[in-house]
Amino acid sequence: MNESLEFKPAVLIPVYNHEKAIECTLKGVLQYGCPVLLVDDGSEPICRDLLKQLSQTYSGSVDLLRLEQNSGKGAALRAGFEKLLIDGYSHAIQVDSDGQHDLSDIPKFIDHAKNSPHALISGCPIYDESVPISRFLGRYLTHVWVWINTLSFTIRDSMCGYRVYPLNMIVGMLRRNPCGDRMSFETEIIVRWVWQGGEVTNLLTKVSYPLDGVSHFRLWRDNLNISLMHTRLFFGMLWRFPKLIRRKFVG
């Protein structure tokens, strides 16, 4: 990131058919004074119309970007990063739309990003009793693969959607390596960030499952995509192995 660039964060919320939760999530975010970009990932009419209404109601604080077809969370985030960078923002604070994140931690995420403007600030979940045990175990398996594929324990949680991204650097990286369009995106982007030597700050944050009871995780499709991603990253790690080992032991 350009050293002279003003620290100017905005909240980025990708939305797909979360009409029951998004208004509450948005109101919770707005109390912390950051501008918000909602990215409508091709939602159905009831959610689409609500997002239009919310952007009009909170005009001046909330902007809306609509993707006409549902393309996946990764595609929505990439589009949001590009727009925020073009609009002059330095950092994107990613928050999920379904109400699972503890929004009272937004000031903590902002403070860490301001103090470490080149770092990717990543939430490290503290789960309550609402987390499904299958999802919890599945996440742990992904973490093990991430530790293998980075040859480090730098990333404590690779799937949390509560993050702060330095936009200049993350958009540049994504233009070279777009990462997946769907649920694998958040894991792949943080692994590639570490591969290129990016700094990661892990912040503990409370997470619950989700406010409206809606999950867009598709068991077969998304597990297949995640498996293919881990395979791709593993072979990517192999040819980077000398560099990663040298960085680990030499610095």
Whether residue 105 is predicted with pLDDT greater than 80 in this model: the reply is yes
Task: Taking residues 174-186, report their average pLDDT.
Answer: 88
pLDDT tops 60 at residue 151: yes
**Looking at per-residue confidence, does 141 or 36 come out higher?**
36
For residues 8-33, average pLDDT: 96
Please give the model's pTM, rounded to 2 decimal places: 0.89
Name the CATH code of domain 9-250 (choices 3.20.20.70, 3.90.550.10, 3.20.20.80, 3.40.50.2300).
Answer: 3.90.550.10
CA distance 79 to 82: 5
What integer best gives the mean pLDDT of the chain?
89
pLDDT value of position 19: 95
Task: Mean pLDDT check: name the lowest of 159-168, 199-208, 216-225.
Answer: 216-225
Is pLDDT above 50 for 226? yes
The yes-or-no verdict on residue 222 having pLDDT over 80 is no
What's residue 203's pLDDT? 97
Q: pLDDT tier at 223 (50, 70, 90 boundaries)? A: low
Provide the token pair at 134. 């299958």
The phi, psi pair for 98, rounded to 5°, reads: -90, 5
Q: Where are the domains of the chain?
A: 9-250
CA 21 to chain centre: 18
Please say if the pLDDT value at position 3 is more than 60.
no
Strand-by-strand arrangement of the 91-94 sheet: 62-67, 36-41, 9-15, 91-94, 163-166, 120-127, 200-207
Chain center to CA of 196? 18
Q: How far apart are CA 246 and CA 197, in angstroms?
A: 12
User: Within 10 A of 128 (CB to CB), how many other CB atoms are there?
Assistant: 11
pLDDT digits (tens, 9 = 90+) for 31-68: 999 999 999 999 999 999 999 999 999 999 999 999 99
The reported pLDDT for the residue numbered 9 is: 98
pLDDT at 181 over 90: no
User: What are the start-end ranges of the H helices in the chain?
Assistant: 22-30, 45-57, 73-86, 106-115, 133-150, 167-176, 185-195, 219-250
Report the pLDDT value the prediction gives residue 2, as an integer from 0 to 100: 46
Question: Mean pLDDT over residues 94-120, rounded?
Answer: 96
pLDDT category of residue 1 using cuts at 50, 70 and 90? very low
Q: Which of 10, 9, 1, 7 is nearest to 39 (CA)?
A: 10
